[in-house]
A and B are shown apart, each in its own frame.
Chain A
Amino acid sequence: MEVERISGLKFHKKQDVAIVGAGMTTWKRRLNETGKELSYLAVKQALEEAGLEIGDIEMVVMGSAPDTFDGLHMKGEYLLDGSGGSDRPYMRVFVGGGTGVFAPIAGYWHVASGLADVCLVVCEEKMSSCHPHPQSGFKYIWDPILDRPLNPNLIWIFALEMRRYMHVHNIKHEDIALVSVKNKANALDHPCAQVAEKITVEDVLNSEPMALPVRRLDVSPPSDGAAALIMVAPHIARQLTDNPVWVTGVGWALDTTMWTNRDLYFPRYVAEAAKMAYRMAHITDPRKEIDVAEPYDPFDYKELHHMEGLGLAKKGEAPILTREGVTARDGDLPTCPSGGLLGVGNPIAATMGVKACELYWQLAYRAGKRQVAKEVTNGVCQAWGDLMQVGTVMVMSNKR
């Protein structure tokens, strides 16, 4: 990927943005807690880690995906008091599945614009309340005239995308299955994981077919959970910690609604979002300069697809890097060291916990058993969603 070097006043922010605390709940089917309670648990953890109290929070950003999961209109308003949003400026942002990294991007602009010095970002998702399965909530994401009469579901459009990706680069399912094997094993070290396990490539290839080539173990599960992140201005960060993690670049892009008109083999929207973020972070060669990556992996092929979109691998090269162990936790480019969505779970917006929060923990050397082997300075996290349409990217660094 070629990223132009920028100079001058573009991206002239009011102040730098540091991350000083993060929290997340265990991800699973959580019938006992409401969305408000899940948000509360994540926020409490993040506040404890940052050494702050809720009264110190100036503004709150909420991220949560479709209202249809909960059968709630204005879900953001409903989640307001559990997430600490009451009695302060509170705003919910939404770009479908991309919200997991978009909400921290919104937190970034709250602080970088100088309007807030301490901003809390909360992401919550409760998919289990959607009966019989959250997939039925996705019935309403289609164009009502062109798509809906075909009675599509998400698994089969992703099967189309996976097939196209495999076809263009001549990739075997065995190579893609390695991602699922790696991430589910990584997740064994994550205390919040829902589907961590030691599996083999054969297990993936022999698992139940969903919509071929997608099989059961190629896919992440629906989950309930929440995550929280605290973003602050430099003068606050200095008071709280010696080792804050800085947000150095953000980017997002939304492609056309007409997914049928795009070539699905390459996520150009992720590439555009990544270019924006890298330009801001002054990163010109991502493969060399990025030390740890958390691309969005709701399906195993998506991790590879997104690595290519993020410029961490050339087109068609990501499966080779995976096979060679480059993306393992002790490899040269550790990718999804958290265990990702495939291992930890996929509560749509709350995946911030294994993307932005995990990247913060890795760069702050707070990831415990999940800490990658190599020394890290820069990292990138990314989310994706809508009709295979949106890319959201955040670059962080532990050097200012």
Chain B
Amino acid sequence: MGVAVIGVGYYGFNANTPDLSWKEIMYEAATRAYADAGINPRKDVDSFITCAEDIYEGFAIFDEFVPDQLGAVVKPTCTICGDFLYGIATAYMHIESGLADVAVVEAHSKASDILTFGNVIKFAMDPIWLRNVGKAHPYYFAALEMAQYVNECCITEEQIAEVVVKNKNNALLNDSAPYGAKVTVEDVLNSPMVFDPMRKIEIAQRADGAIVFVLASDKIAKEAEDPVWVKGVGWWSETSNFDTMSFNAYYAYKSAKMAYKLAGITNPAKEIDFAEVDDRFAFKELQHLEALQLSKRYETATLMQEGYFARDGALPVNISGGNLGIGNLLEATGGQKALEVVLQLRGLAGKRQLSDVEVGVAQAWRYIPTASGAVAVFGV
């Protein structure tokens, strides 16, 4: 048995989308994915999965609003409260358990509709112990984690700046990356320090977009054009308590371990050709690369400076521009990562196409204040 991606579609990504509603961007992405896979959603799909969180959407029961624009009326349709990669894991299980031969996964971000993003995140914090600690913006929690990480691993400001420089410059080759910019290390160091030790430019700004994947069992995928195989999936949660988290992206380490095991990967740093990792805070990219075992602890920042993770480096990371270049896509973040991996593997990444890539990994975190995340390994 195997599971493959046989079609992808996306809409975006934009800093805001005043002309279309969230329903319309879902529709745009879905129709493109169905055309790409050559399927009719009303006849050919056995399961539809949307990844969404109620309060990001501004609804009490968001799954009510899913079926119509996906062509999923009176069909098995459900919502997973998690990142797009959790949706990929769910579709993988649907296909492996025989519940579906073709499954559709959707996630979107209409972050531009959110007026008070910081307050929304505050509502994710424990109402007794954490929510009312000071009047700080929740980004401070990421800054605390960063402080521990950079001190533990002796990482300099310049090394963190390298992440921003790489991703924002990578984004210049991506038409769908609204936050691409030609910046230098000096520019980053001159950016205001908003959450010490974190600078404003090291925080991904929010963006809108929608991503839809069509997945199928091997029986169907073998007849499809350019199938990209889901070699492994993994997801993992550490704890929901900020005071007991390890602050070392253990969620990414464990979910990668699960995904690598399914994919039969024993030496990720060698066997994986490129990676798309969550970089919604610049330091998170370094932390996640270590957790994914793509580089050794204490060496990652130096490798970053040496260009090991650059477009022409040994292991290109966030060629799409990452979240720093494309934006924070909320629950669709993993979708953008998986999309880039699939486009690269199919040779459809345009100006940013890498040569000779066969295995790529996508990773996403569930953002502050969680220690949960998911990983998917794709290959051709």
Across the interface, A76 reaches (CB within 8 A) one of B48, B60, B81, B93, namely B81
Beta-carbon contact of B67 and A115 below 8 Å:
no
Contacts of B60 in A (CB 8 A): 66-68, 137-141
Contacts of A94 in B (CB 8 A): 61-63, 78-81
B66 proximal to A (CB < 8 A)? yes
A290 proximal to B (CB < 8 A)? no
CA gap between A268 and B80 in the complex, in Å: 23
Closest CB of chain B to A88's CB: distance in Å?
A: 7
Closest chain B residue to A386, Cβ basis: B64
Beta-carbon contact of A113 and B54 below 8 Å:
no
Beta-carbon contact of B82 and A91 below 8 Å:
yes
Contacts of B62 in A (CB 8 A): 94
Beta-carbon contact of A77 and B372 below 8 Å:
yes
Closest CB of chain A to B295's CB: distance in Å?
A: 25
Beta-carbon contact of B55 and A86 below 8 Å:
no
Beta-carbon contact of B54 and A66 below 8 Å:
yes
Among A48-56, A104-112, A193-201, A306-314, the one that faces the other chain is A104-112
Beta-carbon contact of B68 and A387 below 8 Å:
no
Across the interface, B61 reaches (CB within 8 A) one of A10, A86, A386, namely A386
CA gap between A143 and B60 in the complex, in Å: 11
Contacts of A68 in B (CB 8 A): 54-55, 60
Across the interface, A86 reaches (CB within 8 A) one of B59, B96, B237, namely B237
Across the interface, B97 reaches (CB within 8 A) one of A75, A102, A109, A258, namely A109
Beta-carbon contact of A110 and B237 below 8 Å:
no
Across the interface, A254 reaches (CB within 8 A) one of B72, B99, B238, B258, namely B72
Contacts of B65 in A (CB 8 A): 143, 257
CA gap between A313 and B251 in the complex, in Å: 49
A316 proximal to B (CB < 8 A)? no
Contacts of A268 in B (CB 8 A): 74
Contacts of B238 in A (CB 8 A): 86-87
Closest CB of chain A to B274's CB: distance in Å?
A: 25
Interface members, chain B 214-251 (any A CB < 8 Å): 234-241
Query: Please, what's the 1-or-0 string for A1-23, where 1 marks a CB less than 8 Å from any CB in chain B?
Result: 00000000111111000000000
Q: A13-B98, A138-B60 are in contact. Are A90 and B53 (CB under 8 A)?
A: no
Across the interface, A91 reaches (CB within 8 A) one of B54, B61, B89, B99, namely B89
Beta-carbon contact of A74 and B53 below 8 Å:
yes
Query: Please, what's the 1-or-0 string for B41-57, where 1 marks a CB less than 8 Å from any CB in chain A?
Result: 00000001000011110
Beta-carbon contact of A91 and B239 below 8 Å:
no
Given A102-B78, A385-B61, 14 further pairs, Cβ under 8 A? A65-B61, A66-B54, A73-B121, A74-B124, A77-B240, A78-B126, A87-B237, A94-B78, A109-B90, A109-B97, A112-B93, A112-B97, A114-B96, A273-B76
Interface residues of A (CB under 8 A from B): 9-14, 34, 65-68, 71-81, 85-96, 102, 106, 108-110, 112-115, 137-141, 143, 250-258, 268-269, 272-273, 276, 385-387, 389-390
- Give 28 pairs: A residue, B residue, CB < 8 Å, sorted on A: A14-B98, A65-B61, A67-B55, A75-B81, A77-B366, A78-B126, A78-B240, A81-B239, A86-B240, A88-B236, A89-B234, A89-B255, A91-B81, A91-B86, A93-B80, A96-B64, A110-B93, A112-B93, A112-B99, A253-B74, A253-B75, A254-B67, A254-B73, A254-B76, A254-B77, A255-B67, A256-B68, A257-B67
